[in-house]
Amino acid sequence: MAQGNEGSMLGDPARWPLDPPEGRRRSHAARPARHEPGGGRRLSLALAAVLVPLVAATATGLVLLWPRRPPPAPGELGGPAQQADATVTATRQQPCSAAGAGGCTQVTVRLTSGPQRGLSVYLELAGDAGTPTLARGDRVVVGYSPASPAAGRYQFLGYQRHIPMLALAGLFAALLLSFGRLKGIRALAGLGVTLAAVLWFVLPAILGGANPILVVLVGCAAAALVAMYVTFGVRLRTTVALLGTLAGLAMVGALAWGFVAAARLSGLTGDAPPLRLGGAQLELRGLLLAGIVLGTLGVLTDVTATQASTVWQLRLANPDWGARSLRRAAARVGRDHIASTVHALVLAYAGASLPLLLFLNQAGRPPTRVLTGELVATEVARALVGGIGLIAAVPLTTLLAVAVASGAAPGGQESNNGSHDLREPA
């Protein structure tokens, strides 16, 4: 394909061969491949020179911030400390035990777990709006508070949701594996790594008193380092996507810190009770910053991995393209990806805050007051800061991927300057 035909090929995506036939692959490998300045082994060493210090810094952060016996949370935080599964056996209406209260529902349940398994106990549910209506056979979760009066010693905490959640998770895993096959298995393993980082490092370290923003930055970097290589393999394009992800995370952290300070957001959103360690309350502004960074990680890895893969496939399909043509084609894909992803990100945050938005709208507040109030401004900050990080990560990843892919051989062997083969195993 001649260089002068780049424009026409770019305008006809149907002529882009995403998986060239074997004969064409051999012909590409046989003829000398074009390479851009700075490609090949020197660029690979440069990538390693950037990545190794980041890995060392992440490992050092894990060692320094690793939770060491966090203080136990107060027993009343999040409901009674003693909880058990139970099954409803009977219900009946009766006067409430509290003076001046109206009618209540006495619910008899049989405990099905815990040290008192098999014991039948009574719950009292007020007839207020929003109180669930329990029926015989319902599987519920109850809490036990020894210090409470006898009538309120056992409390209804919620329904058992193990079976539907396991079924939904199983359906998700089955569809992912049937479509993604080996990559689906890798994706599940990467997801497990990320969840493990959150559950066994981020949350305990924050509860242990460590700085929330440092903990989340280190935890996200560690999760991205392991999960991306597990999911996409140890490849050049994975390293490119990883560097773009880490750069985006750093930018999101800096922007979030600056905006939260300038807007004087306190982190008091009303979504959760105050968190306390002993007698000291956790710094809520730090938790807000940490939540913004953590919420952006998944979308960042999505756009950077997709953009790096796009550059790789364009280079493989069009081995005669120079860096300029490759960059222009990848940039067009990146713009579409940014537009759709930012739209989805904003709608996701709006959907999570829908009850709050409905309440504020019903209260008759002007739109400007709603948007600049503490509760909504916090969600706006999450969406906009995350969007800025995405917008910055895509061109950065594209430029880096073009530089690396332009110096890699599109055929089945190493090029003359020692660069790596673009055709990686699926």
* pLDDT at 426 exceeding the cut of 80: no
Of residues 151 and 231, the one with the higher pLDDT is 231
> What are the chain's domains?
41-70+181-406 (no CATH), 82-144 (2.40.50)
At 38 the pLDDT is 36
At 152 the pLDDT is 65
Tens digits of per-residue pLDDT, 335-390? Answer: 888 888 877 777 776 776 676 667 666 666 666 666 667 677 777 777 888 888 88
At 413 the pLDDT is 38
Of residues 182 and 139, the one with the higher pLDDT is 139
Cβ-contact 240, 47 below 8 angstroms: yes
What one-character-per-residue DSSP string does 223-261 give?
A: HHHHHHHHHH-S-HHHHHHHHHHHHHHHHHHHHHHHHHH
* pLDDT at 27 exceeding the cut of 50: no
User: Cα(18)–Cα(40) distance, rounded to whole angstroms?
Assistant: 23
In total, the chain counts a number of residues equal to: 426
**What is the number of alpha carbons within 13 Å of residue 184 lying toward its C-beta?**
10
Instruction: Single out the residue of 380, 390, 384, 371 nearest to residue 352, CA to CA.
Output: 380
Give whichever of 43-47, 78-82, 420-424 has the largest mean pLDDT.
43-47
Instruction: pLDDT band for 18, please (50, 70, 90 cuts).
Output: very low
Give whichever of 28-37, 158-167, 285-294 has the largest mean pLDDT.
158-167
Instruction: pLDDT band for 156, please (50, 70, 90 cuts).
Output: confident
Instruction: Report the C-alpha dihedral over residues 323, 229, 302, 218, rounded to 10 degrees.
Output: -110
The residues, ordered by sequence, that sit 6+ positions from 314 with a Cβ below 8 Å of its Cβ are 16, 321, 326, 329, 330, 405
